[in-house]
Amino acid sequence: MMKRIVSLTVAVLLIAALFAGCSSGPEGTYKVKTVDGEEYSKYVDMMVGLMTAFGGDELKVDADQMKSLLEKAGSFTLKADGVVESFDVDEENWTETTKTGTWKLDGEKLTITVDGKTMEGTLKDGEITITEKDEDTGTTHTMVLGK
């Protein structure tokens, strides 16, 4: 069960990490603000609590380290040259990794491709809003990201 919770958490965070908003231009570092209308920090706290309760010793990481990694997992940087760097968590050993890809803005449509997966978000009022269906669970998640 613990592996499924971690896998689902990482899947949601990876999707979240691939989208951004902009206020003065699209370049910069962005973080997830909300997931399904809830503050992202509440979601992180919930996941840390669940993972600590159901697999604390197995994870070999303390709650503070886990929280820090999960908070970072929702961040990424859009660079002026069309490169995106997204932060990820290696769920096997709870270390941080960075993945790179490309991004393109066409009007309000932001397209990001990382690891061969392309996703689209809507850039409006300095934020990206993305709604995507989780292929593993069939549930739909909406995320809002900003600088």
H-run or E-run covering 141: strand 140-146
128-142 pLDDT per residue, tens: 788 888 889 999 999
Cβ neighbourhood burial of 2 (10 Å; 0-12, 13-18, 19+): middle
DSSP-based helix, strand, coil % in the chain, nearest 5: 30, 40, 25
Model's pTM, two decimal places? 0.70
Element (H, E) at 16: helix 2-17
What digits encode the pLDDT tens for the residues 66-106? Answer: 898 888 887 888 899 999 999 888 877 788 889 999 999 99
Neighbours of 44 (CB within 10 A): 23
